[in-house]
Amino acid sequence: MARGRFITFEGIDGAGKTTQIDALQRLIESARIEVVRTREPGGTPLGEKIRGLLLGDEMTPRTETLLFFAARYEHVEQVIRPALARGAWVLSDRFTDATYAYQTGGKGMSGADVEALEAWTLDGFQPDVTVLFDLDPVVAAQRRTSRAGEGDRFERESQAFFTRVREAYLDRAQRDPKRFLMVNAEDTPDVIQAQLEKEFKPWL
């Protein structure tokens, strides 16, 4: 059986990923292909517990980075690799690029340290495609404030923080243009959905 595809979705908080992952999941399932829909932090019972800590508790950026990779290692070993091996497509709301964007770009952790953790835990394992939803942090903040509640620990960060995160994502995309698929997240949901359908339909 052919190995499945591993697609990740990235962007600053409120960029519109969830909306589009729903649509892409429907498209792939309509071709009778198994889809494993997952997210980071999270994706396993242990990872979901770590998610609760990461989104709720104050901690140093270094602890935060280690916890993201601890949850990710479980996720890759228990869920992602087995799903790909049986031919499923894995759609993950965030993966390692988020650590480079948020912990390195946003919080100033060393990129070399993150690279070392990535090499140790993932041994070169990477998504086949990463869809990057690029959005002005001002627009993203407006979208987030239209939702109920005060948001998690990350969503309460400043606009300057999200500007650095966005720049770090764009830098990663520029360094690896073959893997990244850019989406202008200011387009309407219909336009973005059509772009993703056009991109992925030939793969089905």
Angle, CA of 114, 108 and 21, to the nearest 5°: 65
In angstroms, rounded to a whole number, what is the distance separating the alpha carbons of residues 163 and 178? 24
**Interface of this chain with ligand T5A, residues 76 to 95, rule: CB under 6 A:** 93-94
159 binds ligand T5A (CB under 6 A): no
| Binding mask of the shown chain, residues 105 to 144, with x at each position contacting ligand T5A by CB under 6 A | --------------------------------------x-
| Total Cβ atoms within 10 A of residue 11 | 24
**Tokens found for residue 111:** 């990129």
Cβ-based nearer residue to ligand T5A, 88 or 165: 165
The minimum distance between CB 82 and ligand T5A, in angstroms, equals 20
* Side-chain half-sphere CA neighbours of 134 within 13 A: 13
How many angstroms separate the CA atoms of 187 and 185, rounded? 5
4 binds ligand T5A (CB under 6 A): no
Among 4, 36, 41, 44, binds ligand T5A (CB under 6 A): 41
